[in-house]
C-alpha cells in the first residue's frame, strides 16, 4: 500500500467518530416513534384538543423538514461539526423542557425547538461521514451503517418507549435525548474533524424563512378543512402556502447561490426516487400513528405490550434494510423498490378489514406485512437520490432526501391522521348516548381519548354504551386511512418502475472502468 493510499484510509479514530455520528441518527428516529406510543398518555394528562394533539406529534417533523436544507448550507459555511454541536445542545435542552412541560403550549414549543436541533444534526452527520472517509469502500460501508442506524432507531423506538412508559410518566420517553446528546457534545470535538466547504455559497436568509413558512400554512389548511370542511380559513391557508412555494422556487432559480439548487430536480432519477420516498413516507406516517393508538385505545394494551407487538415487525424492517442493497446488486433497484411496495400495499389492504373480519390478529398481520416492505424504499431510494447528484451537490442531495423523509411522515400524520379524525367525528355525530352530560358530549365526539376520559366519569353501563361506538368509529378511521395509504404506495410503485427502471443494478453501475494502457514515461538523461 502506498503512503498516499494509507493516508486516504480511515483509522480507528474515524470509526470511533462514526459511532458518535450514528448515536444522534438513531435517536432522532427513535424519538419520532416513541412519541406515537406516548400520545395516549399525553392526551390523558394534558387534555389537548384533537388539533393540538396532531401538532404535538407533527410540529417536530415540520420544523426539521423546513430547516434541513438551510442547516446543511449553513454547515458548509461555518463548519459542519459546529452545526452538529449546536443541534445536539438545542435538542438535548428542548428534550428536557418537553419532558417536564406543564401544559400543551409549552410541549408544542419544546417539540418545535427539538425539530430545529434535529434539522441541524441530521445533514451534518451524513456530510461529515463523506469528509471523514476518503476511501470509496470505507465510505460506502460508513454510509451503509448510517442508513442502517435509521432502521435501528425505528426498530428500538417502540420497545424503548414501551419500557419507559410502562414504568415512568410520558416525559421519560423524551428524556432519552438528554444523555445521548451529552455524549455527542463531549466526544465529537475529540473524534470528529471540522469541515468547511472551500467555496461555500452565501446563505440567503429570505430563502430560509420562505422554506419554513411555505409549509406551515398548507398543513394548517389541511387540518382546518378536515375539521371544519371547506371553510374559508382552510382554503386560504392552502392557497397561501402554494403561492409561497412558487415564490420560493422562483427565488432559487434567480440566485447565484440558491439555498436549494432546483437543477437537481431535472435529473429523472433524483426526482423520481424522491417522489417514491415521499409517497411511501406519507402513507406510513399516518397509518403508524393510528396503528399505535389502536393498540392502546381500542385493544387496551399497555405501552410496553404495544412496543413488544411492534418489535418483530421492526426487526424485519432492519433485516430487509440490510438485504435490499445486496439484492440490488443483481436486480434493478426500481424492481426491488416496486416489490417492496407491493408487499406494503398488501399489508395496507389487510388493515382496511380490521374490525369487520377481526381485531388484533388482523391488525398485527397487516402491519407485519406492510412494515418490512418499506425497507427497500428507505435504503435504495436514498442511494439513488444521493448517487444521482453531482459529487459537489451530495450534501444538498442528502438534505433534500432527509427533508422528504421527515416531511412525508409529518404530512402523513396531518393528512391520514386528519382523515381518521374526520371519520371518527362523522360516525360519532349521532352515536353518543343521550344520557351523556351535555358538557362531556362534545369531548366524546371529538376524539377517542376524549370518549375514554368521559367514560371513566360515567356509570359502567353508560360508559360501555359510549365506548362501543367510539372504538368502532376509530376503527373505521383506521380502515379508510389504510385504504388511502394503499393508494399512495400504488402510485409510488408505478413511479418507481416507470421512472427508475433505467438505473442498472449496483454491481453493474459500480463496475470499474478498464484500466488505461500503461504509458512509458520519457527518460530524463542523467549527466555523467
In this prediction, residue 487 carries a pLDDT of: 95
Rounded CA-CA distance 127/195 in Å is 9
Which of 139, 172, 192 marks a domain boundary? 192
- At residue 199, the pLDDT reads 67
Report the CATH number that the domain containing residue 75 is assigned in CATH: 1.20.1250.20
User: Predicted confidence band at 186 (pLDDT cuts at 50, 70, 90)?
Assistant: very high
What's the number of domains the chain is made of? 3
For residues 242 and 310, membership in a common domain is answered with no
pLDDT band of residue 16 (cuts 50, 70, 90) is very high
CA distance 107 to 120: 20
- Tell whether the model's pLDDT for residue 148 goes beyond 80: no
Q: Is 526 part of a structural domain of the chain? A: no
| One domain for residues 166 and 281 | no
Examine residue 235 and state whether it is found in any structural domain, yes or no: yes
Query: Could you give the C-alpha distances from 479 to 220, 246, 279, in angstroms and in order?
Result: 24, 35, 19
Mark whether 93 and 27 lie in a shared domain.
yes
346 with 467, same domain: the answer is yes
| Residue 243 scores a pLDDT above 90 | yes
- Looking at every residue in the chain, the average pLDDT score rounds to 81
Q: How far apart are CA 274 and CA 341, in angstroms?
A: 15
**Per-residue pLDDT, 223:** 63
Encode pLDDT of 417-434 as tens digits: 888 888 888 888 888 887
Regarding whether 292 and 212 lie in a shared domain, the answer is no
466 and 411 in one domain? yes
Between 93 and 326, whose confidence is greater? 93
Highest mean pLDDT among 44-48, 119-123, 252-256, 272-276: 272-276
Residue 523 predicted with pLDDT over 50: no
Question: Which one is predicted more confidently, 81 or 63?
Answer: 81
Tell me the three state secondary structure of residue 205: helix
Residue 517 in any domain: the answer is no
Let me know if residue 109 belongs to a domain. Answer: yes
Are 274 and 248 found together in one domain? no
Mean pLDDT of 371-398: 78
Co-location of 183 and 237 in the same domain: no
pLDDT in tens, 284-308: 988 988 898 898 888 888 777 877 8
Q: Examine residue 518 and state whether it is found in any structural domain, yes or no.
A: no
**How far lies 343's CA from each of 322, 339, 500, in Å?**
17, 6, 19
pLDDT of 227 reads: 58
Q: Name the residue with higher pLDDT: 379 or 496.
A: 496
The reply to whether 134 falls in a domain is: yes
Helices (H), 168-267: 172-175, 177-191, 205-213, 215-228, 232-254
Express as a percent the part of the chain with pLDDT over 70. Answer: 87
**Residues 267, 244 within the same domain:** no
Q: What residue numbers bound the domain in which 429 lies?
A: 263-505
**Stronger pLDDT, 387 or 100, i.e. the higher one:** 100
Q: For residue 167, what pLDDT is reported?
A: 81
Pair 221, 291 in one domain: no
Check whether residue 57 and residue 81 sit in a common domain.
Answer: yes
Confidence (pLDDT) at 176: 86
Closest of 70, 467, 93, 499 to residue 273, by C-alpha: 499
**Predicted pLDDT at 395:** 65
Is 278 inside a domain boundary?
yes
Amino acid at each position: 500500500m502506498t503512503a498516499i493510499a494509507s493516508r486516504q484510509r480511515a483509522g480507528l479514530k474515524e470509526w470511533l467518530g462514526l459511532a458518535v455520528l450514528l448515536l444522534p441518527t438513531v435517536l432522532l428516529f427513535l424519538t419520532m416513534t416513541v412519541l406515537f406510543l406516548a400520545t395516549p398518555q399525553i392526551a390523558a394528562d394534558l387534555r389537548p384538543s384533537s388539533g393540538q394533539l396532531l401538532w404535538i406529534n407533527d410540529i417536530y417533523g415540520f420544523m426539521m423538514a423546513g430547516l434541513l436544507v438551510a442547516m446543511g448550507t449553513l454547515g458548509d459555511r461555518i463548519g459542519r461539526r459546529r452545526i452538529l454541536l449546536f443541534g445536539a445542545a438545542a435538542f438535548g435542552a428542548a428534550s428536557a423542557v418537553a419532558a417536564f412541560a406543564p401544559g400543551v403550549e409549552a410541549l408544542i414549543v419544546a417539540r418545535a425547538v427539538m425539530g430545529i436541533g434535529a434539522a441541524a444534526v441530521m445533514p451534518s452527520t451524513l456530510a461529515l461521514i463523506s469528509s471523514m472517509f476518503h476511501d470509496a469502500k470505507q465510505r460506502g460501508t460508513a454510509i451503509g451503517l448510517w442508513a442502517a442506524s435509521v432502521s435501528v432507531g425505528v426498530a428500538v423506538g417502540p420497545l424503548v418507549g414501551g419500557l419507559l412508559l410502562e414504568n415512568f410518566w410520558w416525559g421519560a420517553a423524551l428524556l432519552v435525548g438528554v444523555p445521548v446528546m451529552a455524549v455527542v457534545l463531549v466526544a465529537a470535538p475529540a473524534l470528529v474533524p471540522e469541515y468547511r466547504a472551500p467555496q461555500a455559497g452565501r446563505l440567503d436568509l429570505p430563502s430560509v424563512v420562505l422554506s419554513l413558512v411555505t409549509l406551515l400554512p398548507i398543513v394548517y389548511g389541511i387540518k382546518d378543512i378536515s375539521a371544519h370542511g371547506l371553510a374559508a380559513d382552510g382554503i386560504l391557508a392552502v392557497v397561501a402556502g402554494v403561492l409561497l412555494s412558487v415564490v420560493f422556487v422562483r427565488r432559487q432559480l434567480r440566485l447565484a447561490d440558491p439555498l436549494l439548487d432546483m437543477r437537481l430536480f431535472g435529473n429523472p432519477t433524483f426526482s423520481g426516487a424522491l417522489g417514491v420516498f415521499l409517497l411511501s413516507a406519507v402513507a406510513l406516517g399516518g397509518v403508524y400513528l393510528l396503528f399505535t393508538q389502536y393498540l392502546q385505545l381500542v385493544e387496551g394494551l399497555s405501552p410496553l405490550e404495544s412496543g413488544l407487538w411492534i418489535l418483530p415487525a421492526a426487526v424485519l424492517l432492519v433485516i430487509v434494510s440490510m438485504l435490499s442493497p445486496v439484492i440490488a446488486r443483481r436486480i434493478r433497484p426500481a424492481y426491488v423498490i416496486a416489490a417492496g411496495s407491493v408487499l406494503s400495499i398488501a399489508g395496507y389492504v389487510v388493515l382496511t378489514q380490521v374490525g369487520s373480519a377481526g381485531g388484533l390478529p388482523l391488525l398485527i398481520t397487516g402491519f407485519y406485512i406492510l412494515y418490512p416492505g418499506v425497507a427497500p424504499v428507505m435504503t435504495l431510494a436514498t442511494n439513488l437520490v444521493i448517487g444521482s447528484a453531482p459529487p459537489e451537490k451530495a450534501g444538498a442531495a442528502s438534505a433534500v432526501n432527509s427533508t422528504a423523509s421527515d416531511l412525508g411522515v409529518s404530512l402523513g400524520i396531518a393528512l391520514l391522521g386528519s382523515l381518521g379524525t374526520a371519520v371518527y367525528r362523522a360516525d360519532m355525530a349521532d352515536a353518543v348516548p343521550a344520557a351523556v352530560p351535555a358538557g362531556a358530549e362534545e369531548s366524546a365526539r371529538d376524539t377517542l381519548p376524549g370518549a375514554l376520559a368521559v367514560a371513566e366519569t360515567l356509570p359502567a353501563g353508560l360508559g360501555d354504551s359510549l365506548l362501543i361506538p367510539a372504538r368502532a368509529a376509530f376503527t373505521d378511521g383506521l380502515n379508510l386511512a389504510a385504504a388511502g395509504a394503499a393508494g399512495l404506495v400504488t402510485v409510488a410503485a408505478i413511479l418507481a418502475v416507470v421512472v427508475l427502471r433505467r438505473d442498472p443494478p449496483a454491481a453493474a453501475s459500480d463496475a470499474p472502468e478498464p484500466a488505461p494502457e500503461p504509458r512509458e514515461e520519457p527518460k530524463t538523461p542523467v549527466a555523467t
